[in-house]
Structure 1
C-alpha cells in the first residue's frame, strides 16, 4: 500500500490508524485511503485492538430517543466512529430524563469510553467508577470531571430569539421553560433574562412544563390567562413545548402570530409540520455527535481536546409577527 500511495510505511500506519492529523497532510492522507480502496485493504481490527488494548466500542448515553434531536446525535456519532473503525452502543435512559442503571455489569471490560448528555448524567455514576474516559455533550465545561466537553452555543440561540422578538416590538413575554434541572435549560433561562434586562419596559413571566405537548399547552394557557396584561410572545424551550403553546392559543381563540407570537428551540421536523410554521433555533445535532466522537478518539489517543461550542441559527418562520399584529416581513 505504501508503494501504491508513494509514501512510507510509517505514513500508512498513521493514516490507517487514524493518527495522521497534524502529522500528515490531507492530500497525502487521501492518497493513502485511495490506495487502500483500490487494493481492497481492510484493517485487521482484532490485531489492532489486541495491540492497543481496546475494544473499539464507545457508549452513547442519551435521555431518550423519542426526541429526534438525540436520534440525530447518534447518527453523527456513528458516522464519526466508523471513520476510526469504532462502533457505538446506544443507551437511552428508560426513565427519559431521569436516572438510569448501569447498562453493563463491567463497563471497563466492554467499552473504551463514554459520550453522554448532561440530561442523562444520573446514568453515569456506576460507569464512571470504572475509570472510563468520558466526553460530555450539553454540559457545563466548568463543572464536570469529563475529559472533554462538546456544547452547542445555547446561550447565543436564546439571545437570537429574544433579540428577534424585541425587534418586532414585543415587551410582554412568557417563557415556557422545561421543568428539568439540566445545564442546557439553565443556560437558556439565564441568557433570556440577561438579554431582556437591557431593554426598558419588558416583562417576563416563567411557566415551567414537562417536555411534552400537553404540558406545554397547560403552561401556555396559564401564561395567557394569568393576572395582568396578556403576553404578546411565548418563548418555548423546545419545539414540542411550542406545539403545545400553539394549541393553547387556538383553544383560547387567539391567532398565531397576530395575537401572540410563539418560538421554539431545536428545529425538529415538527417545526414545519405546524401551521403556521415555527420560528425556532436550529441545533446541528449530527455535528454534536460527530464532535463528541472525535473528542473521545482524541482522548483515547492522548491528544489535547479544547472545549467546543458549535454555532446555532435562528430560523424565522410565520409563527412570529409584530407585537401590534401588523405584518412582520419575516
Structure 2
C-alpha cells in the first residue's frame, strides 16, 4: 500500500511537506500542494486514505441532470445509489459540478481532498474536463450511459438495443410502417447507441430505414415543433422518442396541429418518468428502472474499489403499454 513516505520519496521532498500538502496546510505553496495531490492520486493513495475514515465515503458528481425532486430523471438513481451504499456502510455526498468548477480543481484532487474512495458521475459531456481526466485516472469511477477505456472506470446503463427493439416491435405489430425516431443529444454515447439500435430494429421488423425519419432532439420538449411537421410530411404514423419529456412535447405539437393520438399518430416515450402516466393520453414508454440503476452503480463502484475491473453493467428495459399507441391509421 502507498504511504506518505512513498510519495515523499517519489517527489524528493520531506514527509512533513507531503503531509501538509495533503491536509491543506497554509505554509505550503499552491504549486507544491497540487504536485503532492497529483502524485498521491497517481500512486493510488486516495483509496487507502478514504478507507481509513471512521465511515468511508464516496461521492456522486452531477451536471446537466435534475435530481432534487421525485419526478426528475436523476432522483431515483441517486436514491438507489444511496441505499446500496448505506447497506455496505458507506456515506454518500452529492456534489453538483460545472465546467468552471472542473477548471479550478482537478478530478483526482477533488476526490482525494474530500476523502472519497470513488465516484459515480451523472450527466457530464465528453467535453467536460473531468470526462477527459478519466482516461488516465486511477480513482474508481462509475459513469451512467458513458464509457471510458480505463480499468478503473466502469459504466452502468439500460440496454438501449433491447429497449429500442421492444418499442419498434410494438409499433410494427400495430401495423405502423412509417416510424420516426426523435433522438436525444447529438454526440453522446447513448444517443449513438439508440440511433444504431433504431436502424437495426427497423431492419428486424422488415421496414425500410429512412434518414429523413430520424433527428436529434437534445432532450428538449420544444424540439417537437421543429421536427414533428417534418416527420408528418414524410408520412410518419408513429414517433418513437428518446425521452418522456420529448414525447410530451410531441403530444402537445400534435394537438396544436389538430391531430389525434393515437388515432392519427402514435407516440412512444422512453424512461417511464412519473409524468408519463399523467400525459394526455397516458404515454406508452420504455421503462428504465432508475432505482436499480443507482443500486447497480454502487455495486459496480464497490467492485472497482476492491480491485475488480468490471467494464459495464446493463439492466433490462421493460415495455410499458398505455394509451398513446394504437393501430396504424388507414390512409388512402
TM range (shorter): 0.7 to 0.9
Provide the C-alpha distance between the structure 1 equivalents of 2:76 and 2:284, rounded to a whole number of angstroms. 20
Alignment of 1:78-117 (within 5 A): 78-94=82-98, 101=102, 106-107=109-110, 108-110=112-114, 111-117=116-122
In structure 2, the residue matched to 1:22 is none
Partner of 1:73: 77
Matched, 1:190 2:189: no
User: Following superposition of structure 1 onto structure 2, how do residues 253-264 of structure 1 map, counting pairs within 5 Å?
Assistant: 253-264=258-269
Match of 2:317 in 1: 312
Residue 223 of structure 1 aligns to a residue whose secondary structure is helix
RMSD: 2.8
Query: Are 2:203 and 2:209, in contact at CA under 8 Å, matched by a contact in 1?
Result: no
Q: Following the alignment from structure 1 to structure 2, what is the Cα–Cα distance between the partners of residues 203 and 172?
A: 9
> Is the Cα contact below 8 Å between 1:73 and 1:286 reproduced in 2?
yes
Aligned equivalent of 2:65: 64
Give the distance between the partners of 2:205 and 2:238, measured in 1 at CA. 15
Q: 1:147 Cα deviation (Å)?
A: 3.1
Structure 1 residue 247: Cα displacement: 0.8
Contact 1:220 1:244 in 2 (8 A): no
Deviations 1:265-318 (A, max 9, x none): 000011011011000001011111111112212222224536321111010111
Query: How far off is 1:213 after superposition?
Result: 1.5
The answer as to 2:274 corresponding to 1:274 is: no
Q: Distance in 2 between matches of 1:51 and 1:75?
A: 22
Q: CA deviation at 1:126?
A: 7.5
1:168 aligns with 2:174: yes
Cα deviation, 1:64-107, whole Å, max 9, x if unaligned, reads: 11672211110001111111222222234458xxx862685632
Q: Which runs of 5+ in 2 are unaligned?
A: 1-47
CA contact (8 A) 1:295 1:305 kept: yes
How far, CA to CA, are the matches of 2:192 and 2:137 in structure 1?
Answer: 29
1:154 corresponds, among 145, 153, 160, to 160
Higher mean alpha-carbon deviation, 241-250 vs 210-219, is at: 210-219
Distance 1:219 1:91, change over 3 A: farther
Question: Structure 1: which 5+ runs fail to align?
Answer: 1-48
Contact 1:133 / 1:296 at 8 angstroms: preserved in 2? Answer: yes
Q: Are the aligned partners of 2:80 and 2:295 in contact in 1 as well (CA < 8 Å)?
A: yes
Aligned length: 271
